[in-house]
């Protein structure tokens, strides 16, 4: 029997980086995403975010594709948010996302980073964070 577990740090934002997530809305959306993911066999170890984006540490098994996991998480949660009128305006996720593998030795650092999003974004905007992620990814691919 094969055993596959690939850890992925995924980040996705709201369309046009609109700040939909007050603390109460964010907590409700995160709780729903966790419940929905669990029902679909997706294990989310950590999930948190800020006003316009979410981070999650997700375990993929051998049958999962990251694109399908993100489609399930984002598509269903967007539908649920709008159906239940969680936000005043029509809710949409940005169609893009960031995902990078995480090695076992980095797990605690990534968990802490995800858990401390509010504090982290007092120091850096989501736009600058995205630029940093893309720069780091590009250097790793090119290096």
Domains of the chain, earliest start first: 6-142 (3.30.70.1290)
**Distance in angstroms (rounded) separating the CA atoms of residues 35 and 30:** 9
Going through the chain in order, the beta strands assigned E by DSSP cover: 6-13, 43-50, 53-60, 98-101
% of the chain with per-residue pLDDT over 70: 82
Neighbours of 94 (CB within 10 A): 15
Mapped onto helix, strand or coil, the DSSP state of residue 99 is strand
What confidence tier does 119 reach under pLDDT thresholds 50, 70, 90?
confident
pTM score of the predicted model: 0.84
| 120 sits in which H/E element | helix 117-120
């Amino acid at each position: 029997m094969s055993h596959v577990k690939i850890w992925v740090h995924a980040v996705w934002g709201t369309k046009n980086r609109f700040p939909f997530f007050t603390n109460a809305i964010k907590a409700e959306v995160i709780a729903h995403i966790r419940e929905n993911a669990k029902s679909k066999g997706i294990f989310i170890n950590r999930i948190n975010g800020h006003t316009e984006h979410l981070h999650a540490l997700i375990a993929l098994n051998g049958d999962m594709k990251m694109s399908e996991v993100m489609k399930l998480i984002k598509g269903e949660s967007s539908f649920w948010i709008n159906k239940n009128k969680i936000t005043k305006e029509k809710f949409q996720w940005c169609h893009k996302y960031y995902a990078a593998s995480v090695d076992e030795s980095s797990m605690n650092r990534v968990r802490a980073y995800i858990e401390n999003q509010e504090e982290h974004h007092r120091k850096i905007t989501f736009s600058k964070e995205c630029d940093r992620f893309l720069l780091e990814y590009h250097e790793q691919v090119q290096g």
